[in-house]
Structure 1
Amino acid sequence: MQRPRRTPTTRPCSARESAPRRRPQPQPQPRQSPTSTTTSTSRTGPARRSSPTRPGSSPTRGPRAGATPSTDPGADAGSVHGRHPAGSREGAGTIGLVTRTENAPVSSDVDVPASMWEVARRPRWIAMLALCLVIAGIFAWLGHWQIERSVESGQEVNPETETVKVLSDVVDPQSSFFDRVGGQMVTVTGQFAPDDFRVVVDRYNGGDPGSWLIGRLVDDADGSSVVVALGWSSDEGGAEAAERAVPTGTVTVTGRYMPSDQPSDGDFREGRENVVSVPMLVNEWTDLDGDVYSGYVVSADPVDGLAAIDSVAPESDRSLNWLNVFYAIEWVVFAGFAIFLWFRLVRDRFERDVDEAEEARLEGATAS
């Protein structure tokens, strides 16, 4: 049996129901500046940000019709900064509220010095300056010492060599021979020892070879003995014959005080002496009592039968020692370099502080 078909009934619609429904329009979102960060702080409803569109597709303005908001908490994890998790459909199931926060600029704790001298006034660099000044002072003193040496070498060792002085006042017996007494005119009073005369051969006088007659004089002042060269003869026999003309009593001898010669073994082995060596004569003298002077006196007044021995004043080199001057200049340069080294270290420290402050400022500007 066929059922009768029910005829649908219609009812009048109101104007509100008959009007087409409008799709809710998303609210415009404020544009984020490059220096701001966005965070998702709450879940208030469906996300209203549009996802990037693919070529050939129309932009999506909101959720599709009939779609329901997702309640899965994990669905909101990938929606930070408007991004969607991998595998999710574009613009679907994202919930979040985008907010904008401003980051404060990075502060720098680097102390920027106003000038290099501000760095120099720090305790560390003041101590370094004191050390450099001490080192420079030592170098300057060494330079001054070299200058004194160069000046001393250009002066006469003894400018008063021609002034006659008492031998005992110039030098002491048994003392070393110093350059300051070499060639000094002296006087000594005493008696000659009768058995201690010697003839020294191969002595030149004015370029001519000859012989000297020497003897031992005992000083009346302190009993010390000194060798005296009494004169020169062109032949050895004439020097030996002049020994009889030597006074036997107290005499005063004036002459130039000269250093002793070095011992020689050549002619001494044949019974002849060619040097005036005080140490060698001491071993030959008889009845020696008392001290001995380390030099000998060349008499200005020879005994009868002999010629005066050439004895000129010593020559001194008055030229300046340039080697010592060069050393003095070197020490002055070293002293200046010590001060320059401190200055350079302070300047490098100042430039490093400025560079570090600039780098910190740039990092702070980039981070903000």
Structure 2
Amino acid sequence: MADDTGAAASGAHEATAKPRVAVLYGGQSSEHSVSCVTAAGVLRAIDTDRFDVVEVGITRSGQWTSPVVDPRTHAFGSDELPQVLPSESTVQLFTDAQGSAARGAELIRLGPDGAASSLGGIDVVLPLLHGPFGEDGTLQGLLELLGVPYVGAGMLASAVGMDKHFMKLAFDAAGLQVGRWETITARQWVADPDAAVHRVQGLELPVFVKPARAGSSVGITRVDDWAQLDAALAAAREHDPKVVVEEGIDGREIECGVLGSPGDAAARASLLGEIVVDHQADPAAFYDFAAKYQDEAAADLRCPAELPAEVTEEIRRQAVVAFDSIDGEGLCRADFFYTADGKILINEVNTMPGFTPISMYPQVWKAAGMSFSELITELIDLALERPIGLR
């Protein structure tokens, strides 16, 4: 890469005197479209008086590219899910430019003829990617190697927070109560599928069959009869060869946002939100992909959740414990069940929760007095403060 290109990019960057944020969205996972809508919400809310922003889309095949379609326009509601479209030019990230914090990188666009042009230096990456190859530690590892600050959990926390099996082990080790579950690895399924099914049938119906490393309720099936199990396992394995089967829990679905704090201060917990699914219309209904993103009438998101004060504080406490149990950084959303007999069971954490207009994470912080724009600013500031590498 020619020195004059990098110098020009650095000079232009210094003139702005504002941290430059690369917003990554799209990605190669089954949650590609959710990431696109998340990016739309964030880009409309980010404080452009505080930050310069450059958008980089990642196609389903893994190409990094400048947007063909303005990501601010992505939304659910049409027959076709939003996506990052491929282009003739590819965007690459290099570490031959310094950001405002003496760290950072430079974005380079490579044309179809191989000609390179600079998109300027960046100081921090905001990775709005959900699912594998974005939220699972792979991208975080790349950014660590490049020495680029980024918003959210590090490699280990991202990987553990993506894998429902290891996540539950971390919760259990931290003293949190989890529901009964079984894991079927790819090796176990190949070696002895009958034994794997026999273990799963030791759980009580209904059970929920899930890809171990996916989110947004993609690939999840509720099983009310063991005759449905084979089809449910096949559906989950379309997204992940490793499957988690969870025993159904009869309880209220409560969510809590967690936000890191500057320095070594303890993480903060938001007010609580509750997901109320209409079981009168469909007793077997659950908060699946359609209910989350495509049918606003399928579920009611209530914030703040109406719970006894002592229960609210205990769930908020446990949310921070869950965040710490996976060595979380930046943010997460912790999801719980609260049963009729007063038990609190943690279901999972999400290290990059959705930021769509109807997502719970921004809503619970808004209820706590922090606007969407302020929340994004806080996350970027935390990322700029955090050192790269072991910490």
TM-score, normalisation: structure 1: 0.19
Task: Find the structure with the greater CA-based Rg.
Answer: 1
Q: How high is the TM-score relative to the length of structure 2?
A: 0.18
